[in-house]
């Protein structure tokens, strides 16, 4: 009778150990890979959304579609920060610099900057510029939003020339 009791306890302990080992292996080997893969997919997805917004802004400039308003939507799985700041002066206007930043757990943090040069990812220019974007400080303020859902509203206002260089004026809002 005593031996039977020991066998049951031993069986339970063995099953528990198997479960613990399985969970430990999952946490140590599988989970980091899953998190890493998810972060890489998020990074790619955000970059593509950024690139699509740039392509659409380029399309508006090339089509000379003054007065047309568009939206770019960014939906993130984690908290990120999107800001619009002023860059180089363009007469009374300013270069539009759009910056997206998010922290990652296992992969390097993501910093995307859309400026007159194009899109830079973590300081490296990965998509050169086709058109240069400017904003008028009188109607577009510097702005910043932190969260998981962003909407950038942009309206093309027309081309502007400054010291022989062509810029394209936009009105922008982060919502």
Partner 1 sequence: MEKDSGTAAAVAVIMLLAVIMLAAGVWAAVVLPAEAEEAREAEIAQAKTALEDTVFLLDALSNVSFAAETTVFTALPAGTIQTETLGILKTGNGYTVPLTSLTCSGFGGTELGISAGGVWRKDGGDAAWNLFPKTSYETGHLAFSLPVFTRNVAYGSSEMIPLGFQYLSTGRCEETGEYLFLTVASSESWVLDLWETVFAEAVFSAEGRLHAEISRNSESVQAVFTADAGMLTVSVEEKRYAVFAGGKS
CB of 139 to partner 1, least distance (A): 25
Q: Which is nearer to partner 1, 44 or 143 (CB)?
A: 44
CB of 143 to partner 1, least distance (A): 25
CB of 45 to partner 1, least distance (A): 7
CB of 142 to partner 1, least distance (A): 26
CA distance 146 to 169: 25
CB of 92 to partner 1, least distance (A): 25
User: 74 near 49, Cβ under 8 Å?
Assistant: yes
Q: Which is nearer to partner 1, 41 or 146 (CB)?
A: 41
Give the footprint of partner 1 on this chain (CB under 8 A). Answer: 1, 4, 7-8, 11-12, 15, 40-41, 44-45, 47-48, 51-52, 54-56, 58-59, 62-64, 118, 126-130
Measured in whole angstroms, the distance separating CA 168 from the mean position of its chain's CA atoms is 23
């Amino acid at each position: 009778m005593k031996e039977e009791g020991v066998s049951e306890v031993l069986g339970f302990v063995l099953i528990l150990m198997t479960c613990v080992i399985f969970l430990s292996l999952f946490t140590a080997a599988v989970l980091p890979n899953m998190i890493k893969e998810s972060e890489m997919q998020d990074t790619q997805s955000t970059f593509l959304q950024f690139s699509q917004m740039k392509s659409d802004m380029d399309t508006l400039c090339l089509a000379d579609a003054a007065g047309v308003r568009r939206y770019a939507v960014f939906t993130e799985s984690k908290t990120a920060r999107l800001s619009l700041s002023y860059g180089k002066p363009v007469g009374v206007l300013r270069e539009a610099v759009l910056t997206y930043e998010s922290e990652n757990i296992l992969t390097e943090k993501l910093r995307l900057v859309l400026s007159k040069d194009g899109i830079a990812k973590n300081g490296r220019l990965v998509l050169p510029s086709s058109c240069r974007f400017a904003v008028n400080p009188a109607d577009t303020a510097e702005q910043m939003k932190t969260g998981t859902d962003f909407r950038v509203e942009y309206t093309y206002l027309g081309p502007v020339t400054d010291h022989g260089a062509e810029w394209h004026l936009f009105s922008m809002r982060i919502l």
